Structure formats: C-alpha cells, structure tokens
Structure 1
C-alpha cells in the first residue's frame, strides 16, 4: 500500500507547467463517509492565467473565478454543461490565476466508475462544487506525492476542447503518462 505523504503548499507555489508535470503519478485522495478514495493522476492540462484565452481567468476576476486568483494549493471546482464537475488545482503566487485541470485518473483504492475525463473522474472520486475553494492541505481531500522510486514518462500535446482560444489551442499544455490506459481519448 502507498504511503500517502501530502504535498506541501510550496509544491503548488511554482510555475504551472512544472506543477502539472510533477502531478503526474501523484495520488488524489478524497475521504467521504469514512471511505478513503485514492487515484493516481495520469493526465492534466495547464492553464496559464489571464493571458491564456482558454483559461476561465482570461475574463478576469469574477464570483466564479475568485478561487483561481487566491493562494496556491486550493481546489477550483466548477460545473460544465449543467451536469459535470471539473477540478483544477490553483498554482503559482496569489493573483496569477493559474491552475492545473485534472483530466484522468487511474483508480488505486475505493474508486468506482470511469475516470478518463475531467467530469467522469470527479464523479468517481465524489468531487462536486462543495469542494470548490477547499484547501488541498486538509486531511480529507489532498494530493499525495508520487511514491518514491516511481518514475513517469511525460507526453505533451495540445489541450482538448479549447479550439475557441486562438493560438492557445495549439500550445502543448496537456500532459499525460505515456502508455497509461486511463488517459482520455480526444
């Protein structure tokens, strides 16, 4: 069984692409009703603040995006299509409005359902808008570091579903573990 060592705030308070790549292989942990759900992060996308036209923060600070402008290491959870929740992790210093979207997880323990897609992984992990603004240094919802000795080969590709964002659509800001069966299919 993995030893779950929680990532410190300093992990998130770094350049977003570095955080995104370093999240690969880390474990997302969510305790619900005494059950600890654990999954390995296998795919992410980086969003680079107000200049990134694919980022929610590109429209500036709003009631919806205020979490993105806050300190690093907090969950930004929002609803898409009126059905699915998606989870981002806020990165960089306060005010930068950068984040990493979790795109796919590999189940490790007590995770049922599909996890290859941001909405599906939130459903399988029991993540909803109640976790918006949640401090990921808490004891019931956090990211644990990649196990010692585990290495990952990182692949970078354009993000999925951001064709509206002009030149930002082609930037290589989607990262995943090479050969992992749980990576989403564009």
Structure 2
C-alpha cells in the first residue's frame, strides 16, 4: 500500500465534492504535524471541527487517553496558528478505521500489482473466457465459480509440494506456491 503525504490527502479532500472542507480546517490539517509531532501524527487523524471542538480519531484507546492529558497544550499550540480559536479537542477511536474516501489506484500501485508474484493473467494467452450470466441459486453459483477457477488455473504450473496450480511468479520466487511458503514461515 502506498502512503500519501498530508498535502496529497488535503488536495484529494479539496477535489472530492462530498467532503468539501473549510479553509480553517485545511489550515488546521497543515499545522497539525508541526503541533503534535511525527509520532502522534502517525496515530491520529483530525476529522472535523464542530462548534469550536476539534474531533480527532486515534489508533487506540491508549492514544486517546494519553492525548486527553495533553489536550490543553495541544489546544494552546493550535490556537496560536489558527485564525479561529478552538474551544476543546475530543479524541476517540470511533472513526479510526473508516476510510476518508475510496481513492483510485495510483500509478505506483498499478505497477506493483503488475509485478506481484501472485498475479495471474485473467486468461491464458489467446484464450477468451466469456462471462456467464449471474446465477441466484447458491449451488449453481458455486458451480459456475468453480468452473471459472478451473478454466483460469488449468494452464498454470503445479506446486512441487502440494501439487496445486500456482502462479508462475510464486514458483520462481519461492520454488513453491505462496500457501506452502507461508506454512514454512
């Protein structure tokens, strides 16, 4: 997974119609790393300002509690840099795992996936697998899925250890499939 800089995140928030942020919140996001430092920044995510109260998601309850003890100092530092002063800060783990938005794959992510050892081309060279209409019955859907997997894997080389079809990149990298390799780890 590629990490984005704070400026990239802010830029994507500006461009995303449903998450239009105010100038004040954007300036808060810009000064947040300087105020809290790199260690705290990695464990926090400012979410919004509501009636002068900054809401910040934290990676764990321990971080939320620790930062509650430091909130007055953080608040004072932020208010020196912000045009409109904040009244308080609330730290919570509630929205830590919630993604900000679905972002399209970056060029770097696309290149990484193309070079990944577990990647298998959708169809063998020259063959074309036609998509089949969706089936609503569970047994028929499973059968259709199993046939699709069989069609995609029939031309793959076999793992020496388990004799299952494996992507060529995995066999080149480890000499066995990824499942067998992880058993050895």
User: In proportion to residue count, which structure has more strand?
Assistant: 1
- Return the TM-score normalized by structure 1: 0.24
- Return the TM-score normalized by structure 2: 0.24
User: In proportion to residue count, which structure has more helix?
Assistant: 2
Q: Which has the higher contact order (CA 8 A, sep 6+)?
A: 1
